Amino acid sequence: MNTRHLLTGHVLQFSGNPFTARWQDTVYIEEDSAVLIENDQISAVGNDARAQAGPDVVHHDHTGHLIMPGFIDAHAHYPQTAMIASWGKRLIDWLNIYTFPEEMRLHDPAYARTIAARYLDLVLDHGTTSVASFCTIHPASVDALFEAASARGMAMAAGKTCMDRNAPEGLRDTAQSAYDDSKALLTRWHGNGRAIYAITPRFSPTSTPDQLAALGALWGEHPNTLMQTHLSEQVDEIAWVRDLFPDHRDYLDTYEAFGLLGPRGLYGHAIHLTTREIDRLRDVGAGVVHCPTSNTFIGSGLFDLMGLARAGQPVGLATDTGGGSSFSMLRTMAATYEIAQLRGEPVHAAQLLWLATAGSASVLHRGNEIGALSKGMAADICVLDLASTPAVAQRHAEADHIWDAVFPTIMMGDDRAVAEVWVNGCRLRGGGN
C-alpha cells in the first residue's frame, strides 16, 4: 500500500505564539502550498514537499481549501456525549440532574465502549484529532476511551474521574481506591502508543482532603503524567469551596496544598481567578483551558483570554463536552471570539487557529508531536473547505485577502466545512483526490 501522500492547497504555518508576539509575525497561510506525508509523519512542507514527492506519491488536490493541523480539544467529558445540550440552571443543578445520572450508566463496559466510539467519531467528523477527556469513576470507562482512540490512531489524554464526596451513590470511590485504580490505569495506558494518562480529581468539592492528598502523591510518583481538574468556574462554586476548605487561601490552594499544582497540570475554566492564583499559575507554568461554549451555556462568566495569554499564561481551548454545547472546535473558536468581543478585546483568526491547535498542544505537553504542520510532526491534519455552505461561500467570494476568506468559516462553519481528516498518516474522513 502506498504510504506517501501529497496534499496541496493553502497551508497554515506557525513560527511562534501570536498572543505574546504579533500574529502577523507568528502565523502564516502559505497559499497554493503543499504537505507531504510519509507513513505516519509529515516529511516536508511547501516547495520541499513538491520537490520530494516523486512519481509514486498519491496527490490530494485541495485547491482553495485550508490545510491545517487537526484540532486539539484540551478539556472534554466524553461520558456526557449522550446528554449534551440539556437544559439546565447552574453548574451544581446541571451536574445532579443530567451529568451524574448519565455517568452512572458507564459502569457497564459495553455502554462505555458505545459512547467512547460515538464520541470519537463525532469529534473526527468535526476535524478534531486529539482530545484530553475526563472519564467516569469506573476504570472500564477509561479502558473504553483509550481502546477506541488506539483503534483510530488518535493521540489521547484521559483519566479516571475521582470523587469521594458530594456525589451520588454509585459515583463515589475512596481515597485509596482512587489511588489504586488510577495507578493501575496509568501503568496500563501511559505511554502505550499515543496515550497519555491524566490523573483526574473532578474538582475540590467532590474530593476529600485525603483523596486530594492521595492523588497528589500519585502525581509526585509519576510526574510525567498530566493532571486535569476544574478551577473557578462559577462564583457559587468558589463560595462552596471556601466553605469546604476554610483554612485555604483560595481555590487554587486547595490543589497546591495537596501536591496538585505543577507545569503539567490542566485547570479547566479558570474564569474568576484572584491575583494570587493568576500569578501562581503563570509562575509554575500550569495550563488553563478556555471552555467558551460551556461558560456561556451554563452562565459561568467571561474568561480573560487576552489578559492571561498576553501575560504569558499557557492557554488551551476546549469544547467541554457536554457542558459545552457543541462538538465543534469551529463553534468553540467562534464563541471565543464573541466572549473576547464582550470584554472589548478582539481576537484575530490567526490567534484562534493557533489556540485550537498549537496552543492546546502546548498545554498538553505534546507540542513536539502535534499541533503544527512541520517536518517530523505526526500527520494529524484537518482540511477545511472555506466555501462549504451557501452562506459561507457568498461571504468567501467577497474576501479581499486570505484571512478575510478564513474568518467566515470560523464564525459560521460546522462539520460540513471539514473536507478531510488525517490521523497518524491515515485518512479517516473525506475521499477523492
Q: Identical fold at 4-69+371-429 and 71-363?
A: no
Cα(231)–Cα(273) distance, integer angstroms: 8
Closest alpha carbon to 161 in 107, 205, 210, 203: 203
Backbone dihedral angles phi then psi of residue 138, each to the nearest 5 degrees: -85, 120
The answer to pTM > 0.85 is: yes
Q: Is 210 exposed, middle or buried, given 0-12, 13-18 or 19+ CB atoms closer than 10 A?
A: middle
Cα(70)–Cα(11) distance, integer angstroms: 12
| Structural domain boundaries in the chain | 4-69+371-429, 71-363
For residue 242, the surrounding DSSP H or E stretch is helix 235-244
Residue ranges in the chain whose pLDDT is less than 70? 1-2, 88-92, 432-433
Residue 210 is placed in which grid cell? 485525603
CATH number for the domain running over 71-363: 3.20.20.140
Q: What is the pLDDT of residue 89?
A: 65
Closest alpha carbon to 263 in 294, 242, 291, 287: 287
Q: What is the pLDDT of residue 82?
A: 87
The pLDDT tens digits of the residues spanning 367-379 come to 999 999 999 999 9
The class level of CATH for 4-69+371-429 reads mainly beta
